Each structure stands twice: as C-alpha cells, then as structure tokens.
Amino acid sequence: MIYLGLGALALVFVALALSDGSEGVGGMAPDTLANVAWTGTILALVVAGFWRQFRAAPLRHIQALAAWGLIAAALVIGYSYRDRIRDVSARVMGDLRPGSAVPGPGGTVTITRRADGSFRVEGRVGGRAQDFLFDTGASSVVLTAENAAALGFRPGPDGFNARVSTANGATSAAPIQLDTLSVGTITERNVNAMVARPGALRDNLLGQTFLDRLGSYEVRGDRLILTPGR
C-alpha cells in the first residue's frame, strides 16, 4: 500500500510536469491536484502503518476497536437520553442529600424529607446559603436572630414590634425585606420576612410570604414539590 501511494504521487507529479501549468489535469487545477495527491499519500502511509500493526496482533486491535465502538455508542446513547439521565441523577442526589433542591420539569423543585420527618430546605438569601424549615403554619419567612445578623440584619430592641405565627405558636419579630430568596431554580424578589427575637427560634422558617408566591406546593410521600408562579 505504501508503494501504491508513492506511485500515485509520482504519476501526479509526472502529469503536472507534462502539462503547461495553465490547464488542469482531469478537470482539476494543478494546485488542487497536488494537494489531493499529497493528502492521499499521507493517508495511504497512515493506513499502511495501521495495517502492518493490525496484522502483527489482530486480536488486540479488534478488542481496541470494539472498546472504542462501545465508548462511541455510550456517548451517542447518553446524548440521546441526556434529559432522562439528568432527571435520574438529580433524584439520586436528592435521596443522598435530603434537603437539597432538585430541579425538575416545568421549573419545579423537589425536596426529600429528612430522617426526622421534616422538610429542611437548602435556600439562598441574597446569594448566600441559608437552610429553612418548611412551615406552612408560619405566616411569614422568618430568620433566626443569629442567621439574620450573619446576613447583615440587626434590628434594635425596639424593632421587634410585630407578631408572627409559627407552627409552635406566636412570637415577636422585626419586619425586614429580602432582596432575593431562592430555592433551587425558583427565585423570588423583595420578599417580606421577619427576624425573630434572639433565642425565640432555632431554625429559619420558609413561610407563607414565600409560599404564597408559588404556583403551588404539595407533599407527595416523602417529597415536597414546589412549582414556580407565573
């Protein structure tokens, strides 16, 4: 095969030498014909080298070709079913990390119940991570005094002049407004919230001032599904 490639290259050069250079050979311009001949010769050399190695150890090369074929098939299948694979991997991640907000179809977000039976939601306030306890009995989003201080909210003693209802009863709190509150892919802006009096709460509460903005929220078995509003 090497000799065939070199012979073809020699024939092209002879044809180019015999032509006057003003017309092509076989309908091809001289430059184009020379490039084709050169590329064909290189390809012939590569194929010849591969063929020699293949003949020396055919079984090993067949196994290598089969492995590459399987890799290519896996890549094609993975690309074709990428949406399903992403959904399954997201669900597995949610099971491994209860509380993590797993995105789903239509912009929904799913949270898996924790071992203690509660839904503790990983959220972000102003881009900063904050965990919340899902609480439909809370009339507002409520931050503990400690978490609020870490976010820059430090109401004075006279600021705790409002009452907020929680699943554990009512407590006094200071009204604030959050620029953004995000749970997974769901983000709400200018969310009214409360800062609980120091020592009144152990956890942040994801209450109705956020939940009322959603299209819906429901519990299915051990999963909490949040649907964004329009």
Query: Do 113 and 219 belong to one domain?
Result: yes
CB 200 within 8 A of CB 171: yes
Instruction: Tell me how far apart the alpha carbons of residues 150 and 128 are, in angstroms, rounded to a whole number.
Output: 10
Query: Do 113 and 190 belong to one domain?
Result: yes
pTM > 0.75: no
Enclosing domain of residue 120 = 85-227
Is 80 a domain residue? no
Is 78 a domain residue? no
Confidence of residue 101 (pLDDT cuts 50, 70, 90): confident
Each residue's pLDDT tens digit, 182-200:
999 999 999 999 999 888 8
The domain that holds 116 is classified in CATH as 2.40.70.10
215/21: higher pLDDT:
215
Query: Do 99 and 165 belong to one domain?
Result: yes
Q: What pLDDT was estimated at residue 158?
A: 87
Alpha-helical regions (H) of 19-153: 30-56, 58-80, 82-96, 145-150
**Residue after which a domain boundary falls, among 42, 69, 96:** 69
Is 75 a domain residue? no
